[in-house]
Structure 1
């Protein structure tokens, strides 16, 4: 499999500068992309299997039914999956595509982790030897202009990953994606919907504490890049629904006053007891939100596929 590499342009210096700036901000933050080293990826895989974590249980059947509706449109098509991670979701989708159509498809996984692309490539090569593969090692928020193509394309952005972005960032992303889409290119966008707050909060505060371990793992990743001496045991996992912004917020709250140091930082990172580091947002949407986003990005909202409870949706948007 060919893998185009755009992450080498970023470099470790840029990563360190980004992390240092986030820890100097008020309030302090850490970008959620840094959850996913090997341990973080394994923990997230465990999260997806938890009883409390509902999104995959609804999204997977939706992917199957949606793929069946696309059967006639996928011949001679490039499928571009943004933030592809492992290949579990695209595999569910491709299982519903006839082999004669898969023979004409090229699949483009786009991810910041080259290891994830290589691993999924090996699995997909075995599973669908008739299908073309072309990896893109990139941050789709920063390198979207590098995702070019002349054939018709289906962009896939599953798992409600768009919910991790602020409203402004999500709109900027959709507008930038629109700028590289060709006429009649399509986007399938996974979106977690507004529902009972107890259901949402339980999904991010599981009884086994796996989400807490996942959240704290970002400190280990930060240490590896920035040389800091964060101790995850000095923090507690906090996740709650913010009604004003219609989102789950994940934080790490300091259990005591802390001074975190690094040879790479001019100043220590000071945290008071009770102060938090904001690690992730996960926005929840309504059909009105989805229509507003599509209109503002210049995309036509063709369908919203959802489950009986309307807990999760896959929005289909088309380049006008």
Structure 2
């Protein structure tokens, strides 16, 4: 008998609308103006991002897959995980590498994808249930930035938490500290964390990854304004902005920005807010911190994690690391 697929909805009915309004009100009245990258991923944004991951310039997804494929068996052997929990699971495509390795090792029983998109969870969960007939898939609709929503350890451990795609890089230092501390508090002995992070490298390579020649990333970036127009009845003019990918050398992070090509303004009626942009003014839409081994290892240690393994793709562009909670 095939184990059931289930969806546990942890989000309040008004979560999306309330969180969007809160983020937009705070970000567009700040100086400099900024928005969270979480709002990129409506249906169109998700399709565009999938296209980005297949572009020749976008090395991140390919490099992470290389490292995972090379060392998934090691992860399975060292963790013996019965449950894989994925934070920000999306399509769950890369996670199949881990699932395959744990299934081959004979320990895999349950997969718990956690995401804010019910559509992504439903599509991925149903596909996994078909492809892994002995796997119980328990999807959780939740915002892991506010609620980790990990299954209890008693009957599901040992648990392997997967946080892939260098999503950790979307957090600034303070956000990372808070997130990693909360995650450590939710784990027990025997649990493990597999983390995918992008590494500091040639800025030109990174800029190309965030500003491709076909303009797909630019379209993805501007789609954020379309989301605001639709969800908040705003009147942004996406054509009044240019996409920019900027390497912030001081903070060692890529930044995606929308730069006003002319002086422009937008009204957001539900917030009773009018936002003015001077010509050349930037709206930062994403940060993507790039990491170095020693500082990240120290950061994880401060949060209560010991890095047991650090693996990279052959060109050392991207790292996959296995970390265990310390006493």
Map Cα deviations across residues 243-301 of structure 1 (whole Å, 9 max, x no partner): 10000011001111112113213231111111111100111111112211111111111
The equivalences for 1:11-90 within 5 A come to 11-72=16-77, 77-90=82-95
Aligned position for 1:273: 279
Deviation at 1:225, TM superposition (A): 2.2
- Bigger CA drift: 260-269 or 118-127? 260-269
Contact 1:62 1:306 in 2 (8 A): yes
Moved over 4 A (4+): 73-76
- Give 1:101 shift: 2.1
Q: Does residue 235 of the first structure (1) align with residue 227 of the second (2)? A: no
Aligned in 2, Cα 1:118/1:145: closer, same or farther, shift over 3 Å?
closer
- Are the aligned partners of 1:16 and 1:225 in contact in 2 as well (CA < 8 Å)? no
For 1:63 and 1:295, how far apart are their aligned partners in 2? 23
Aligned to 1:130: 134
- Partner-residue secondary structure (3-state), 2:69: helix
Preserved CA contact (<8 Å) 1:301 1:316:
yes
Q: Deviations over 1:65-119 (max 9, x none)?
A: 22111333565611000000112111122233335726x4200001011111001
User: How many Å separate the matches in 2 of 1:227 and 1:300?
Assistant: 47
Question: 1:256-295, aligned counterparts within 5 Å?
Answer: 256-295=262-301
Say if 2:312 is the partner of 1:301: no
- In the superposition, relative to structure 1, how do residues 307 and 75 fare at CA in structure 2: closer, same or farther (>3 Å)? closer
Q: 1:177-216 counterparts in 2 under 5 A?
A: 177-216=183-222
* Partner SS for 1:238: strand
- 1-side partners of 2:103 and 2:26: how far apart? 48
Distance 1:173 1:240, change over 3 A: same
Q: Matches of 2:269 and 2:49 in 1, distance apart?
A: 31
Contact 1:229/1:260 (<8 A) preserved: yes
Contact 1:215 1:252 in 2 (8 A): yes
Task: Name stretches of at least 5 consecutive residues in structure 2 with no aligned partner.
Answer: none
Q: Which moved more, 1:283-292 or 1:235-244?
A: 283-292
Match of 2:319 in 1: 313
Provide the rounded CA distance (Å) in 2 between the counterparts of 1:300 and 1:42.
36
Looking at structure 2, the residues matched to 63 and 226 of structure 1 have their Cα atoms a distance apart, in angstroms, of: 40
Q: Provide structure 1 residue ranges, at least 5 long, that are not aligned to the other structure.
A: none
Q: Deviation of residue 64 (structure 1)?
A: 1.4
Q: TM-score, normalised by structure 1?
A: 0.95
Deviation at 1:308, TM superposition (A): 2.5
Do residues 109 (structure 1) and 113 (structure 2) align?
Answer: yes
Residues in 1 aligned to 2:26 and 2:76: alpha-carbon distance in whole angstroms: 46
| Aligned mates of 1:260, 1:97 — CA distance in 2 | 50
CA distance in 2, matches of 1:31, 1:283: 14
Question: In structure 2, how many angstroms separate the alpha carbons of the residues matched to 1:116 and 1:159?
Answer: 16
User: Counterpart in 2 of 1:119?
Assistant: 123
Query: Which region of structure 1 is more displaced relative to structure 2, 154-163 or 75-84?
Result: 75-84
| Higher mean displacement: 8-17 or 124-133 | 8-17
- Which of 169, 177, 187 pairs up with 1:171? 177
Q: 2:9 corresponds to which residue? A: 5
- TM-score normalized with structure 2 length: 0.93
Distance 2:150 2:54 in 1: 34
Q: How far, CA to CA, are the matches of 2:322 and 2:226 in structure 1?
A: 37
RMSD after superposition: 1.6
Matched with 1:139 is 143
Q: 1:200 to 1:76 in 2, by over 3 A?
A: closer
